[in-house]
């Protein structure tokens, strides 16, 4: 059933006013009758994926309570078959299992949102998302209470959260509830229900309904949080100690200080096979940079935090002043190239649109680099998002101008059916040099154009078909030489039960290492859902590739054999024959076992022919509370460059036993 725009606008504008009750709801239980007696009931949910239904028969029932300091949610999710839970660790993938979540836009800006969610066995997940909240940052962790219970006809639970864990300006908030449902019979694919009706994506704060909270007159200021830590390693013996401090002022401003922070990588970066032969973007894993990092996002990325290595001390301030989101930090970088780094970021909302400013500076003893940018996002008719950014850099010793960059993106993503488009154009002049930013290909004028249409079929065999095509072109700014010309049609087919298939053809004319190549590759991938507790992804790419013939099969799967055990496996095997012969294999295994609610065992194993290393990582973790834990880690790296089946074990390169103890003092 299709829902027209008037209904979307009407339902999104509905609001609730919550008056505090004279009861401390942090002390009530899941089955307390106070929920039904004083709570506001919500049961008008909409199925939004994979099909739209304005009156799903399996909608949850929700009650809301507010006592002035805590927000409480009780929910019941009906289901005929047993609930499926596929995650055993905090910050799980929401749509991979039965889960219930709350989305809260505390600034009522239609762009950012907090997410609190639990799965059916009460594993918690919390995140913060800026940039339309599509990309959620799981590094934001807060202390809140939840409880779940499996019933004969579904599962139920409650979430009670102190409002002081959020940053906010007033009591008018955006609110949405979402439920993820996995089926054993019929289709193991995920179904998604929502209280609000999104237009272009499931998590869209501009479509949230409104709640008005009667907040206390006095602003909330949390005591100073002190998190000292001690870490040591054996063979060779090394030790390190440091401290983090955090303070929230008047609901809204966060100040974080750090000295000698612990940025040890418990798990290494996973090696990747990149067919595009461009610079790879590596994910950040360090908490100081990860928390609220979505505010740093921009289509011209001026701050790529992985470019910052050893940090001696630093400070970070986040908050909102008169509608301006503020994010800034200062770090002093040590190591072989000491420098001081300053990052300033602000965003201002105008209804569903925003405008931003970016400044990044690096000061070294004999060098400096500044990057400035203005960017923004505008919602235009037909559910299209327009994002733009202008940037300029100033580098010591680099003269002659040509240090400007511009990018503009038009995007439209339908949920179930309709027209989709990505139109992008960017110019990066030859002297544009954001030393702390990320550029995959410098010195180019580049366009990327992708058009598709999703047909939703009323058919028991095929659920939807998505044909599409894309075209891209790179031209070097300095001499206007063609660097790449690429075109590719594709077709996606979604089956209602166990399978999704995608087919691609890619024709590329590419300048690489002063020589032009004609590439023509074919690719197919399939996502298979054998059951609600297993997911398999397999792909195969072949064809003419830089004057060689490419064969590239890959497979990965996720398996959840027990309620407290998870396993992920992947294998990529890349081979080329002909003029440029190459052979690469990457295999990795990840696992987690939640021994108890607080004690867990994790492992990561990777065999890679890119770095010719065999890496193993075993971690035993005990979490006292949020921010307090003890880790015991064993890391090993072995050389497989001359490995053969006759060797019992590859030579040892490095072995490290690592202990970390961290405790959060919260007066």
CATH of 5-213, one of 2.40.50.140, 3.90.110.10, 2.60.40.1190, 3.10.310.10: 2.60.40.1190
Between 252 and 34, name the one with better pLDDT.
34
Count of helices and strands (H, E) across the chain: 3, 38
Mean pLDDT of the chain: 84
Contacts of 666 (CB under 8 A, 6+ apart): 223, 225
C-alpha to C-alpha distance for 537 and 515, rounded to whole angstroms? 35
C-alpha to C-alpha distance for 586 and 270, rounded to whole angstroms? 9
Among 133, 140, 136, 137, residue whose Cα is nearest residue 111: 133
Helix (H, G, I), strand (E, B) or coil at 176: strand
Q: Counting Cβ atoms within 10 Å, is residue 411 exposed (0-12), middle (13-18) or buried (19+)?
A: middle
Q: What pLDDT, in 10s, does the model give residues 276-316?
A: 767 767 777 676 776 667 778 889 988 888 888 888 889 99
The domain ranges of the chain are 5-213, 220-262+595-667, 265-442, 444-581
Q: What pLDDT, in 10s, does the model give residues 113-169?
A: 899 999 988 888 888 877 554 556 677 778 899 999 999 899 999 999 988 888 887
pLDDT of residue 630: 86
C-alpha to C-alpha distance for 9 and 163, rounded to whole angstroms? 28
pLDDT of residue 550: 94
Band (pLDDT 50/70/90 cuts) for residue 571 is very high
- Judging by DSSP bridges, how do beta strands 145-151 and 353-364 pair with one another? unpaired
* pTM for the predicted model, two decimal places: 0.79
pLDDT of residue 481: 93
C-alpha to C-alpha distance for 403 and 380, rounded to whole angstroms? 30
Catalogue the long-range contacts made by 284-287 (C-beta closer than 8 Å, 24 or more residues apart): 286/261, 287/139
Contacts of 114 (CB under 8 A, 6+ apart): 103, 104, 105, 106, 126, 127, 128, 129, 140, 166
């Amino acid at each position: 059933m299709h829902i027209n725009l008037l209904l979307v606008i009407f339902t999104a504008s509905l609001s609730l006013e919550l008056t505090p009750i004279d009861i401390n709801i942090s002390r009530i239980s899941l089955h307390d009758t106070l929920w039904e007696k004083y709570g506001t009931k919500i049961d008008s949910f909409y199925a939004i994926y994979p099909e739209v239904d304005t009156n799903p028969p399996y909608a949850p029932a929700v009650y809301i309570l507010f006592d002035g300091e805590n927000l409480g949610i009780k929910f019941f999710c009906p289901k005929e078959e047993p609930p499926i839970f596929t995650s055993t660790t905090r910050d799980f993938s929401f749509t991979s299992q039965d889960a219930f979540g709350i989305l809260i836009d505390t600034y009522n800006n239609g762009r950012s949102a907090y997410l609190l969610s639990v799965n059916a066995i009460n594993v918690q997940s919390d995140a913060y998302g800026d940039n339309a909240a599509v990309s959620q940052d799981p590094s934001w962790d807060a202390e809140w209470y939840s409880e779940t219970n499996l019933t004969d006809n579904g599962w139920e639970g409650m979430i009670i959260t102190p409002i002081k864990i959020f940053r906010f300006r007033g009591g008018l908030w955006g609110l949405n509830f979402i439920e993820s449902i996995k089926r054993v019979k019929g289709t193991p694919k995920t179904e998604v229900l929502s209280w609000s009706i999104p237009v272009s994506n499931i998590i869209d704060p501009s479509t949230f309904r409104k709640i008005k909270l009667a907040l206390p007159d006095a602003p909330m200021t949390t005591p100073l949080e002190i998190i000292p830590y001690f870490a040591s390693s054996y063979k060779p013996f090394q030790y390190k100690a440091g401290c983090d401090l955090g303070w929230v002022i008047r609901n809204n401003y966060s100040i974080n200080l750090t000295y000698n922070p612990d940025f040890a990588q418990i798990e290494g970066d996973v090696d990747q096979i990149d067919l595009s032969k461009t610079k790879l973007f590596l994910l950040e894993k360090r908490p100081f940079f990860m928390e609220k990092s979505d505010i740093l996002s921009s289509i011209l990325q001026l701050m790529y935090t992985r470019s910052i290595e050893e940090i001696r001390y630093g400070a970070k301030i986040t908050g909102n002043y008169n509608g301006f989101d503020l994010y800034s930090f200062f770090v002093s970088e040590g190591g072989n190239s000491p420098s001081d780094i300053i990052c300033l970021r602000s965003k201002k909302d105008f209804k569903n649109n925003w405008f931003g400013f970016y400044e990044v500076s690096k000061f070294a003893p004999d060098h400096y680099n500044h990057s400035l940018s203005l960017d923004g996002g505008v919602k235009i008719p037909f559910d299209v998002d327009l994002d733009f950014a202008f940037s300029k850099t100033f580098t010591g010793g680099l003269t002659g101008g040509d240090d400007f960059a511009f990018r503009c993106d038009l995007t439209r993503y339908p949920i179930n059916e309709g027209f989709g488009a990505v139109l992008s154009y960017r110019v990066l002049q030859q002297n544009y040099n954001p030393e702390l930013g990320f550029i995959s290909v410098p010195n180019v004028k580049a366009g990327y154009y992708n058009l598709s249409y999703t047909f939703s079929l009323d058919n028991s065999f095929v659920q939807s078909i998505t044909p599409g095509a894309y075209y891209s072109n790179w031209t070097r700014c300095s001499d206007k030489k063609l660097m790449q010309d690429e075109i590719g049609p594709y077709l996606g087919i979604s089956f209602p039960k166990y399978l999704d298939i995608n087919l691609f053809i890619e024709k590329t004319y590419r300048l690489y290492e002063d020589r032009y190549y004609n590439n023509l590759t074919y690719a197919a991938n399939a996502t298979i859902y054998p059951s609600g507790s297993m997911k398999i992804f397999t792909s195969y790419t072949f064809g003419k590739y830089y004057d060689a013939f490419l064969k590239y099969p890959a497979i990965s799967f996720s398996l959840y054999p027990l309620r407290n055990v998870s396993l992920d496996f992947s294998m990529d095997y890349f081979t080329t024959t002909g003029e440029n012969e190459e052979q690469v294999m990457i295999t990795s295994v990840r696992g987690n076992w939640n021994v108890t609610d607080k004690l867990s065992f994790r492992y990561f194993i990777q065999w890679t022919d890119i770095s010719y290393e065999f890496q193993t990582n075993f971690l035993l973790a005990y979490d006292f509370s949020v921010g307090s834990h003890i880790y015991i880690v064993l890391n090993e790296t072995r050389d497989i460059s001359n490995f053969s089946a006759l060797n019992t074990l590859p030579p040892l390169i490095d072995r490290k036993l690592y202990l970390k103890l961290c405790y959060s003092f919260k007066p």
